[in-house]
């Protein structure tokens, strides 16, 4: 495995791989890698001949007062994990490399960014879309791999590359969870022991909601109320940011749960804001 710190190095390595007839897979990350990230690298390894991973803590997707300065970083461990998972090249740019001078261009996607995390983080997805566009232009992969835990991000990026005719296939990958159901996140390590124990209630609440939808197709507001009550009871340290039941394609709120829906939530614990979601298929009502 090789590392690169400049755009020219990345482009040279990728062009060399392409000259050998190799397909290119790409996994963008902000570092602090865990098993969820590594599952994306492994998926890229299975699907592509040459795998590029980026490690870049992107400042433009953090608003003032968010956790940019305390976001967990572990470059040496991250590189070892990438090597073990089969990455061929890790791109480790600094901020000046990614944003030289006074950049005047931002990539923005409308509508899809107005809901869910976009409500409390209104500038977040402009930062995400801008840096992902830049990384896709730098690496020029055949396929790029994103996890479904960040479902809104996945949906936005999929739409962005379609709208902008960026020649890459966005590959969704499953949520990877701890043994107790908590969705893996770099921010999990910032939870206290007490908050960590309470955080499992997010997945438990989603699971109960899924079962309720499958059994009775209750109205969305009734399901949301039940999730809120469960989290307030079982995670008193948590402050609910949002709980929504949406159409998984448009990300618009739904009133009924007769068709396939996505249940999504975000909860702020001391030290970490956690997100999770669950797709619920449109199974018939129980008789």
Catalytic residue ranges = 37
Assess contact for 26 and 54: CB atoms under 8 A: yes
What are the helix and strand counts (H, E) for the chain?
9, 9
Q: How many CA atoms lie within 13 A of 73 on its CB side?
A: 12
Strand partners, 52: 26, 89
Joined tokens for residue 97: 């490399």
3-state SS class at 220: helix
Residue 83, C-beta contacts closer than 8 angstroms, at least 6 positions apart = 1
How many CB atoms sit inside 10 A of residue 1's CB? 15
DSSP 177: B
Instruction: Find where tokens 């206290």 sit.
Output: 192
In the Cβ-directed half-sphere of 199, how many Cα atoms lie within 13 Å? 30
| CA distance linking residue 187 with residue 268, whole number of Å | 11
Q: What ranges make up the beta strands (E) of the chain?
A: 2-4, 24-29, 50-55, 89-91, 143-147, 169-173, 239-246, 261-269, 272-280
- Torsion, Cα 123 129 135 139, to 10 degrees, reads 170
């Amino acid at each position: 495995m090789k590392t690169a710190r400049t755009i020219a190095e990345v482009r040279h390595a990728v062009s060399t791989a392409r000259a050998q007839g190799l397909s290119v897979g790409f996994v963008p990350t902000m570092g602090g890698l865990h098993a969820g990230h590594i599952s994306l690298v492994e998926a890229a390894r299975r699907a592509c001949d040459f795998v590029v991973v980026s490690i870049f803590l992107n400042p433009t997707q953090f608003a003032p007062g968010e956790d940019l300065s305390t976001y967990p970083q572990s470059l040496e461990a991250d590189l070892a994990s990438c090597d073990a998972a089969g990455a061929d090249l890790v791109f480790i740019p600094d901020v000046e490399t990614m944003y030289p001078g006074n950049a005047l261009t931002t990539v923005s996607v409308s509508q899809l960014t107005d809901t869910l995390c976009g409500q409390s983080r209104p500038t977040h997805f402009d930062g995400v879309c801008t840096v992902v566009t830049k990384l896709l232009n730098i690496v020029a992969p055949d396929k790029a791999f994103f996890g479904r835990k960040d479902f809104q991000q996945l949906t936005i990026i999929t739409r962005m590359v379609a709208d902008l005719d960026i020649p890459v296939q966005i590959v969704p990958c499953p949520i990877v969870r701890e043994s107790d159901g908590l969705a893996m996140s770099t921010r999990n390590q910032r939870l206290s022991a007490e908050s960590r124990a309470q955080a499992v209630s997010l997945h438990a609440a989603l699971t109960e909601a899924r079962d309720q939808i499958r059994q009775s197709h209750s109205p969305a507001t009734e399901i949301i109320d039940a999730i809120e009550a469960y989290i307030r009871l079982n995670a008193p340290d948590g402050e609910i940011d949002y709980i929504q039941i949406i159409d998984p394609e448009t990300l618009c709120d739904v009133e009924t749960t007769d068709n396939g829906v996505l249940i999504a939530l975000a909860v702020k614990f001391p030290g970490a804001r956690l997100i999770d979601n669950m797709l619920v298929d449109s199974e018939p009502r129980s008789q």
